[in-house]
Amino acid sequence: MAVKGADRPADRLPQAASMPLARLRKHLYERAPHHAAPGFMMDNDIQGRPAHVAAIRERAEVEMRAMGVDEVFIGRLVETFYGRVLTHPDLGPVFDARLSGRWPEHMEKMKSFWSAVAFRSGAYGGKPVQAHTGVADLTPDLFPKWLALFAATLDDVAPSPEAKAWFMGTAERIAKSLTLSLFYNPALDDPTKKAG
């Protein structure tokens, strides 16, 4: 029950009175859209609304199945793509410098990442922006190369044109979001800070 006369944020939410404090805090402060990583589709609402979540997953499952996307395809996409990344003259050295000795873990992580994005499963709990922060020699010009290689890989392994379009569109949005998070400098858009 709400305390009479108090103006706690909880009192403004009808369902909040019955929530444990930790969950309430999450509900109030961690779901605000301006706190969400731009462009990333990990669903912040994934907890606490089981029926809604189940409906989202069911829809994703139907949509993916209609395009021929399943776990076998995702495994093949990841294996083929990173196999080609390694032989790419510009991308290969950047990836291998960071992942040497850790490739099997990276492959598993990327499979669970793509599976979570496609099937909205919530199974991937990583932090992609942070993961890229310390990658040596990661420059913005590498992103178009990454995307071109991903497109060429999809041309060879995607089960349907719709599947290619979905994976490509998703990768492009994430690449844009990563590029902004990693390289965007607001000062460059501020006329007062521009050198004359």
Could you list the residues that contact ligand HEM (CB under 6 A)? 91, 94-95, 98-99, 106, 109, 113, 126, 128, 131-132, 135, 138, 142-143, 146, 171, 174-175, 178
> Phi-psi category of 165—alpha, beta or left, where left has phi over 0 and alpha has psi -120 to 50?
alpha
Residue nearest ligand HEM (C-beta atom): 126
- CB 73, CB 153: distance < 8 Å: no
What stretches of 17-160 show up as alpha helix (H) in DSSP? 21-25, 50-67, 71-87, 91-99, 103-119, 128-133, 142-157
CB of 118 to ligand HEM, least distance (A): 12
CB of 166 to ligand HEM, least distance (A): 12
- CB 80, CB 114: distance < 8 Å: no
Choice between 113 and 166, CB closer to ligand HEM: 113
Choice between 11 and 177, CB closer to ligand HEM: 177
Q: Is the dihedral of CA 160, 165, 168, 174 positive or negative?
A: negative
CB of 169 to ligand HEM, least distance (A): 11
Choice between 27 and 119, CB closer to ligand HEM: 119
CB of 61 to ligand HEM, least distance (A): 21
Q: SS3 helix, strand, coil % of the chain, rounded to 5?
A: 70, 0, 30
CB of 74 to ligand HEM, least distance (A): 13
